[in-house]
Amino acid sequence: MEDYFYRPFRDLVIRAAERADAPLRRGIRSRNSTDAVLMSRAGYPTACFVSINRHKSVANYHLMSDTPENLCYETVSHAVTVAESVIRELAR
């Protein structure tokens, strides 16, 4: 497990989520690496949005159960809201 490279960007994402009143939890650890870790290792500012279950676990990521019917569309909506808020912050 490793943290994403550029902490100021992660802080920007948290501020953007707060401004958008979208829930965001920091520091979730996954049983495996996310695809975004490659960009982080290359030095790009990176954030990864995932959906967690009631046990605060990334339940279906990269498993055969990682299918549309197992998505939590509310968290997808929150991720879009935060991403839009981040884009607006970067555009300032």
Q: In this structure, what CATH number is given to the domain that contains residue 77?
A: 1.10.150
Domain of residue 23 covers 7-91
The tens digit of pLDDT for each residue in 10-42 reads 899 999 999 999 988 887 776 677 778 888 889
- Across 19-52, b (16+ Cβ under 10 Å) vs e yields ebebebeeeeeeeeebeebebbeeeebbbbbbbe
Residue 1 lies in a domain: no
Q: What is the domain count for the chain?
A: 1
The tens digit of pLDDT for each residue in 32-80 reads 777 788 888 898 898 888 887 788 778 888 889 989 998 888 888 999 9
Tokens 């839009």 label which residue? 84
Residue 27 lies in a domain: yes
| Angle (nearest 5°) at CA 11 between 70 and 47 | 35
Q: What is the pTM of this model?
A: 0.79
Residue 2 lies in a domain: no
